[in-house]
């Protein structure tokens, strides 16, 4: 069935009539927001969902909320801290002992606009969590993904990628003055490059997508001050990323739709490696669905991949 969805479509609508029984999904950042909503709708359609989050208490509460709306939901909760590569490795070992495969990994977690900081391994926080943490997680879960028929990896990017391309020379702001939005933009461009390069390196054995969910009010914005919000609005207006009317917010239900669509829809198969928005492929240019052409650069994506392998001490693909 080839159905058309758009900006206001919800994750529930995307999965209407879809049976996911027998499929295994892993969702990072599942304790609230888009991750929780994605886990909810997937479990409600019969999927087994591994909920991955940093705070076990919040994750347990999210699982309880899901079970209250979807009795019988097949959920498991797991602790993972993407800011700590040893913790990522520990979770991957745990997953290998509990799962025989993962059909879909949704790299949903992230941080945005946070004060300057470093991960446990010394990386700038937004680059370290948003990109390197998910890069390492995907690498370590690759055997479980490749054990599934037609596996998919969905990685959340953002319209914030318009702020800056990934910086391969100073990814950790060691020589560049730190700017919260610059760091966020770099990390979101890195997410898009990673998704594209993952698709290229696995050449059909694994489908990979990056997703712009839209602007949604979630815990992702917990670090934002009025000054940072105003600066983001001004950037969006200058770039045309807000569709000419500044930032337009979506509901959480609509925000989760594109990642759920990418994770499940047969129609998405034709867009392997692409940057998606509003349940379909985006195009270079302005507007909410547009993207900066720099995320379409295979040379940057390949070099970022090699840099990431060196930084996290892993090789795959």
DSSP 233-268: HHHHHHHTTTTTSS--EE-HHHHTHHHHHHHH-GGG
Range 168-197 average pLDDT: 97
In the structure, what pLDDT confidence band is assigned to residue 228 with cuts at 50, 70 and 90?
low
Please tell me the predicted confidence (pLDDT) of residue 1: 44
Residue predicted with more confidence, 72 or 238: 72
- Poorest-pLDDT segment among 27-31, 107-111, 221-225: 221-225
d(CA 127, CA 48): 30
Kind of pairing between the strands at 215-216 and 74-79: unpaired
Q: What is the mean pLDDT of the chain?
A: 92
Percentage with pLDDT > 90 across the chain: 84
Q: Which tokens hold the place of 177?
A: 């003055």
The distance from CA 151 to its chain's CA centroid, rounded to whole angstroms, is 16
Please tell me the predicted confidence (pLDDT) of residue 212: 96
d(CA 188, CA 52): 20
Most confident of 222-236, 246-260, 298-312: 298-312
d(CA 195, CA 207): 9
pLDDT digits (tens, 9 = 90+) for 60-92: 999 999 999 999 999 999 999 999 999 999 999
Residue indicated by tokens 């940072």: 228
In the structure, what pLDDT confidence band is assigned to residue 249 with cuts at 50, 70 and 90?
confident
Residue predicted with more confidence, 107 or 222: 107
Catalytic, out of 178, 184, 275, 291:
184
CATH homologous superfamily of 11-312: NAD(P)-binding Rossmann-like Domain (3.40.50.720)
Please tell me the predicted confidence (pLDDT) of residue 245: 44
User: Is 244's pLDDT higher than 50?
Assistant: no
**Residue among 100, 101, 99, 54 nearest 78 (CA):** 54
Residue indicated by tokens 């998704």: 195
User: Is 2's pLDDT higher than 60?
Assistant: no
Residue indicated by tokens 């054995």: 205
178 has catalytic annotation: no
Residue predicted with more confidence, 204 or 99: 99
Helices (H), the chain: 11-14, 33-44, 56-69, 85-98, 125-126, 134-146, 180-202, 226-239, 252-255, 257-264, 298-312
User: Is 243's pLDDT higher than 50?
Assistant: no
pLDDT digits (tens, 9 = 90+) for 252-280: 999 999 999 999 999 999 999 999 999 99
Please tell me the predicted confidence (pLDDT) of residue 229: 57
Please tell me the predicted confidence (pLDDT) of residue 236: 54
User: Is 237's pLDDT higher than 60?
Assistant: no
Answer yes or no: are the C-beta atoms of 184 and 197 closer than 8 Å.
no
Q: Which tokens hold the place of 271?
A: 């867009």
Answer yes or no: are the C-beta atoms of 85 and 312 closer than 8 Å.
yes
């Amino acid at each position: 069935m080839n159905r058309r969805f758009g900006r206001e479509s919800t994750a529930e609508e995307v999965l209407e009539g879809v049976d996911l029984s027998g499929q295994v999904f892993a969702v990072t950042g599942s304790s609230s927001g888009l991750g929780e909503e994605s886990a909810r709708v997937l479990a409600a359609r019969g999927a087994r969902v591994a909920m991955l989050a940093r705070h076990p208490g919040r994750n347990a509460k999210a699982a309880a909320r899901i079970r209250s709306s979807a009795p019988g939901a097949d959920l498991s909760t797991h602790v993972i801290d993407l800011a700590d590569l040893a913790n990522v490795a520990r979770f991957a070992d745990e997953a290998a002992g509990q799962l025989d495969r993962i059909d879909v990994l949704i790299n949903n977690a992230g941080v945005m606009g946070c004060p300057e900081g470093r991960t446990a391994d010394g990386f700038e926080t937004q680059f370290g969590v948003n990109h390197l943490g998910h890069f390492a997680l995907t690498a370590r879960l690759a055997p479980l993904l490749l054990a599934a028929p037609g596996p998919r990896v969905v990685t959340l990017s953002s319209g914030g990628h318009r702020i800056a391309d990934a910086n391969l020379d100073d990814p950790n702001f060691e020589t560049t003055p730190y700017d919260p939005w610059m760091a966020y933009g770099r990390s979101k461009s890195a997410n898009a490059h990673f998704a594209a390069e993952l698709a290229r390196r696995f050449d059909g054995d694994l489908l990979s997508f990056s997703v712009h969910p839209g602007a949604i009010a979630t815990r992702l914005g917990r670090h934002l001050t009025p000054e940072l919000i105003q600066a983001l609005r001004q950037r969006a207006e200058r770039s045309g990323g807000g569709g000419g009317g500044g930032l337009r917010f979506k509901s959480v239900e609509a925000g989760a739709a594109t990642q759920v669509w990418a994770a499940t829809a047969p129609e998405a198969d034709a867009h392997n490696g692409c940057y998606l928005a509003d349940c379909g492929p985006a195009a270079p240019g302005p507007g909410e669905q547009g993207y900066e052409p720099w995320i379409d650069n295979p040379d940057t994506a390949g070099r970022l991949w090699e840099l990431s392998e060196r930084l996290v001490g892993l090789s795959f693909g």
